[in-house]
Amino acid sequence: MIELLAALALVPWAHPLTFRPLSGWHTGASGTVNSLYDNASKRVRVPKESAAWMATPDVRYRDPATEDPPNRTLAHLPRNAVIVWAVIFQTERPAQKPIRLELRHARHFACCEGAYVAGGAYELSGRGPGTGYSVIVRVYFASHPTRAARAQAQRTLDRLELPPLR
């Protein structure tokens, strides 16, 4: 029984975060690594995380997949570029609402700590399917997002594969 419970706790981490391919777009992922995100509850002894990104064909991604924000990449964005970056991390936040991967629900922020991005950052966050992990998704626009750029970003969000329920 203990082995079954341990296996269930690892389900999201056995299938790291990824994006399904989109013709011409670039992707990258970290796999499952030890988490640097806050684990205030301390209920998870060695928390895990998994990060992934997808970018328009003209972007050269220069940062490790877990870099939040990816400042070296953001500092060299070509005009009209779009990057969608996501992370899942192990946490025990049962009151958190499930994430909705819809750009129209994202919060807009000026961006970023180390690199100015004219279009800013849009953020979605919430609980993944089931329980046991949280999700943060950031969408970066190199310039003010047009309707076409927003549509591209939503197509990318639709390709994000969150790990299965546990």
Under the phi-then-psi rule, with left for phi > 0, alpha for psi from -120 to 50, and beta for the rest, what region is 154? alpha
CB 31 within 8 Å of CB 16: yes
pTM of the model: 0.87
Neighbouring C-alpha atoms within 13 Å toward the C-beta of 54: 21
Gap between the Cα atoms of 123 and 125, Å rounded: 7
Task: Please give the biggest Cα pair distance in the chain.
Answer: 55
Percent helix, strand and coil across the chain, each rounded to 5?
A: 20, 35, 50
What is the per-residue pLDDT for 38?
A: 59
Structure tokens of 50? 């998994």
Structure tokens of 26? 């670039």
The phi, psi pair for 155, rounded to 5°, reads -60, -40
Gap between the Cα atoms of 13 and 45, Å rounded: 15
What are the structural domain ranges in the chain?
2-161
Q: What is the pLDDT of residues 1-25, one digit of tens each?
A: 444 444 445 556 788 899 999 999 9
Q: What is the pLDDT of residues 61-74, one digit of tens each?
A: 999 999 999 999 99
Number of C-beta neighbours around residue 110 at 10 A: 9
What is the per-residue pLDDT for 34?
A: 85
